[in-house]
Amino acid sequence: MSRNLNDSSDLPPDAQAGSSRRQFISRLAAISASLSVAAPLARSATTTEGTALEGESPKKGTEGSLVEINFKVNGRPQKLEVDPRVTLLDAIRDRLDLTGTKKGCDRGACGACTVHINGRRVLSCLTLALMAQGEEITTIEGLAKGDDLHPVQAAFVGCDGFQCGYCTPGQIMSAVGCINEGHIRSDTEIQEFMSGNLCRCGAYPNIVDAIKMAAGQMKAGG
Amino acid sequence: MRTFTYKVPSSIWQATSDFGQNSDFLAGGTTLIDLMKLEVMTPSQLVDINRLPMRGIELASDGLRIGALEKMSDVAENQEVVANYPVISQALLKSASAQLRNMASMGGNLLQRTRCGYFREVSTPCNKRQPGSGCPAIDGWNRTHAILGTSSSCVATHPSDLAVALVALDASILLQSGNNDRLVKLDDFYHVPGETPDKENQLKPGELITEIRVPRLPWAQRSAYLKIRDRESYEFALTSVAMALDVDANNVRDARVAVGGVGTKPWNLPKVRDALIGMPLNQQTFEAAAKLATEGAKPLRHNAFKVELVQRTIVRALMNLGGLV
């Protein structure tokens, strides 16, 4: 396994062919937009009352209100100009192309968008990018050291801590926080302190196993 | 989300002067950003107060002081809070999720908006969101709604667990606007809806909660927060009780009781307290006192179960703290 966990979760089975799912979806979108029947749909998807949709770069007319932000993401300084409405989640995914962090509910209820700000686990969907000014952000892409998975990533693989994998980046970021906070004294405590991360596949028992395994390794490894 | 301008003041004075018409203060953002996405809240300006010096958790001879920008998680795990006011720590830990507790501020927690589904859905009327438009909850889906403090305009519950604990402990909040400040009892801070459910509290435009003050109460070391909900974690209360109990041999010397999930504001229960003082520690005493909690309750079509459930919640908390179970 030379590819890190997140990359593989984001790629279709035929990723080796050199075409990612995102590229595939983009091509599909381009094809459908070229069909006349899709035109009304495409129009409604661009702007409403002149406002940019969430997740898109701001459209003409809002450029005057762009704000510059500087922060570090996975150790690298980043400078962005964003509409004040852009969430940290959208900035990370759409502007920095770090698509490991997932958008689930986009309302702070599911935990799929969990990242670390200054080492603390938070929800990037309820954080404006502006609020991260000057902060250090770690996403799922920042956990592995080169080809070496973080112990929590390796434990999720080892314990089958997922099925479909969509909640997994958020689960792993939250699990790292849970272990660092020391909330791993019992299965019950792990369950309680991981309750902000929903898994619709129901991989919860294996997630708890993975956290216990990783916590043991992280302690042993100092 | 509607467009807004964004300001980052460096002093409380500047924060007040930056606060213009249709402004909102932004702290952790866990309520505000959510409700802005739903367009329930549509401020045209955000004043980000996160750089202001409203921090610190200090236990002094007169009690506990908590800066309003302290995060829920930090207060919940503070050793002085855990040892001296376990009810505060427990109320915080039973709120939201670990991620949200790392984000949400103490002041913001006290100002969070109701979880009433009609309030959160802009396509329906709501007197709290749009005064005069009506209340669909009264004849609609109201299983989670209030039975105490309701009116013909609004039956929404107050969602904060922390506020229930603080009201039980007779806490006050320091409100600051420019160079002026005032200390207000949290119990007095919140309004019942009456005819104006949109006016939820005493906060004036541009005024900030800067500090929480909890009086010294040595016997609050014997205190707890019991929360009953549809799932065991990461859920709002159907009923909850914040309680502190002072015991003398086999009698109740003093008590503090407030309940959540049932009131349009955190519901303080001085009558239950009075009924407990001097009484022997036993289930009969507790049940008699707990009955007083729902005096004047007005159950709705789907939430009548809360009348008995909140009484039982109080009895359970008393049994636990009294060492009877």
Three-class secondary structure assignment of chain A:
CCCCHHHHHCCCHHHHHCCCHHHHHHHHHHHHHHCHHHHHHHHHCCEECCEECCCCCCCCCCHHHCEEEEEEECCEEEEEEECCCCEHHHHHHHHCCCCCCCCCCCCCCCCCCEEEECCEEEEHHHCEHHHHCCCEEECHHHCCECCECCHHHHHHHHCCCCCCCCCHHHHHHHHHHHHHHCCCCCHHHHHHHCCCCCCCCCCHHHHHHHHHHHHHHHHHCC
Supply the CATH number for residue B18's domain.
3.30.43.10
pLDDT lower than 50: segments of chain A: 1-18, 31-63
Residue B98 lies in a domain: no
Q: CA nearest B101 in A: which residue?
A: A122
Q: CA nearest A178 in B: which residue?
A: B98
As for the ipTM of the complex, it is: 0.97
Residues of A in contact with B82 (CB under 8 A): none
Q: Are residues A72 and A137 in the same domain?
A: yes
| Per-residue confidence (pLDDT) for residue A11, from 0 to 100 | 38
> How many contacts (CB atoms, under 8 Å) link A and B?
84
Residue A123 lies in a domain: yes
Q: Which residue of A126, A181, A195 is in closest CB contact with B30?
A: A126
| Per-residue confidence (pLDDT) for residue A10, from 0 to 100 | 40
Q: What is the residue range of A98's domain?
A: 64-142
Q: What is the residue range of B293's domain?
A: 224-321
Q: CA nearest B43 in A: which residue?
A: A85
Q: Are residues A81 and A127 in the same domain?
A: yes
Listed residues A142, A166, A200: the one ending a domain: A142
Residues of B in contact with A194 (CB under 8 A): 98
User: Across the interface, do A196 and B98 touch by the CB < 8 Å criterion?
Assistant: yes
What is the β-pairing status of strands B223-228 and B239-248?
antiparallel
Residue A43 lies in a domain: no
| Per-residue confidence (pLDDT) for residue A14, from 0 to 100 | 41
Residue A89 lies in a domain: yes
Residue B113 lies in a domain: no
| Per-residue confidence (pLDDT) for residue A23, from 0 to 100 | 58
Residue among B124, B125, B127 at smallest CA distance from B153: B127
User: Across the interface, do B6 and A195 touch by the CB < 8 Å criterion?
Assistant: no
Supply the CATH number for residue B228's domain.
3.30.390.50
| Per-residue confidence (pLDDT) for residue B208, from 0 to 100 | 98
- Over residues B64-122, the pLDDT tens digits come to 999 999 999 999 999 999 999 999 999 999 999 999 999 999 999 999 999 999 999 99
Q: Are residues A100 and A127 in the same domain?
A: yes
| Per-residue confidence (pLDDT) for residue A7, from 0 to 100 | 40
| Per-residue confidence (pLDDT) for residue A29, from 0 to 100 | 53
Q: Are residues A121 and A161 in the same domain?
A: no
pLDDT lower than 50: segments of chain B: none
| Per-residue confidence (pLDDT) for residue B302, from 0 to 100 | 98
Q: Are residues A71 and A134 in the same domain?
A: yes
| Per-residue confidence (pLDDT) for residue B234, from 0 to 100 | 97
| Per-residue confidence (pLDDT) for residue A24, from 0 to 100 | 53
| Per-residue confidence (pLDDT) for residue A27, from 0 to 100 | 54
- Domain count within chain B: 2
Q: What angle do CA A73, A78, A81 make, to 5 degrees?
A: 125
User: Across the interface, do A191 and B233 touch by the CB < 8 Å criterion?
Assistant: yes
Residue A81 lies in a domain: yes
